[in-house]
Amino acid sequence: MPGPTGAKKSAPATINKRMTTLRRAFNLGRRATPPKVVTVPEFPRLPEHNAREGFFEKAELFAVLAQITDAGLRDFLEWAFWTGMRKGEIAKLEWSAFDRETWMLTLPGRITKNRRPRRLALEGPLRAIIERRLAARRLDCRLIFWRAHQGAVTSRLQVGMPVRIYEFRKTWATACRKAGIQAGKAGRIFHDLRRTGVRNLRRAGVDRKVAMAISGHRSESVFERYNIDTDEDLREAVEKVASYVGQLSSPPTVVPMAVRREG
């Protein structure tokens, strides 16, 4: 967006997010007792033409994972690939959310973006990841996904102590480069794993509401923004239609009635 000379330009998506925050503030003011706001003004949305459409194929992701020596970070990234969960949610997962009897994981509302708890069944690759995290579990760490601190020694942190996984841009960029995949603004970013998770859930035929419960999308409009159709999706759709029509009965089953002529 154009701005004053020398001023930093804001992208339409950034402006829309700020407008959403303002709209939320006005609505809270209107609902207060007594009301702080009489009416809520209209906040128009700017068109966003810069939506990313990056995806990870399974082989690409595991090529990147093979270049990462940190087991905790590898499990963190693979979890994102299978679930499409937000980075912040994965980073805050604690063992208190895990039920070993039922092998269910309950995300508390305090760590989800929409403040609503949700449950996740630990089957297949998710169970394998949790089994690896159980083997690496430390009693002095509540986090399921953690990495050993390698930074400066402080009064609170020593080298090797478990810390939350969140910032790993350099490790990600190096792993992608070694795997022959471009990273960063012009290439792959962590958030592409979320898009991939949503796409895979839909391609697998998972019910939309169930898929949204796993990835944590509350709004269908936002969910659809991640469920981007690719050439492969379109080809698969045509193939499915052709397969369905091919199974239909070809010979006509209706015999035309003889027309009675009046004498």
The predicted-structure confidence for 55-113, as pLDDT tens digits, reads as follows: 888 899 999 999 999 999 999 999 999 888 889 999 999 999 999 999 999 888 888 77
For tokens 């706001």, name the residue.
Answer: 37
Q: Are residues 84 and 132 in the same domain?
A: yes
pLDDT of res. 180: 93
Q: Are residues 91 and 201 in the same domain?
A: yes
Q: Which residues, in sequence order, are CB contacts of 41 under 8 Å at separation 6+?
A: 26
pLDDT of res. 15: 83
Q: Are residues 218 and 100 in the same domain?
A: yes
What range defines the domain where residue 17 resides? 12-50
Does a structural domain hold residue 235? no
Ranges of residues in the chain whose predicted pLDDT is under 70 = 1-8, 13, 48-53, 155, 217-242, 244-246, 248-263
For tokens 């290439």, name the residue.
Answer: 187
Are 89 and 111 spatial neighbours (Cβ–Cβ below 8 Å)? yes
Q: Are residues 106 and 181 in the same domain?
A: yes
Number of H helices, E strands in the chain: 10, 5
pLDDT of res. 7: 57
Q: What is the CATH number of the domain that holds 75?
A: 1.10.443.10
Q: Are residues 18 and 101 in the same domain?
A: no
Q: Are residues 44 and 62 in the same domain?
A: no
Looking at the structure of the chain, the number of domains it has is: 2
Q: Are residues 110 and 19 in the same domain?
A: no
pLDDT of res. 12: 76
pLDDT of res. 235: 62
Give the global pTM: 0.66
Does a structural domain hold residue 220? yes
Q: Are residues 41 and 63 in the same domain?
A: no
Does a structural domain hold residue 246? no
Q: Are residues 187 and 63 in the same domain?
A: yes
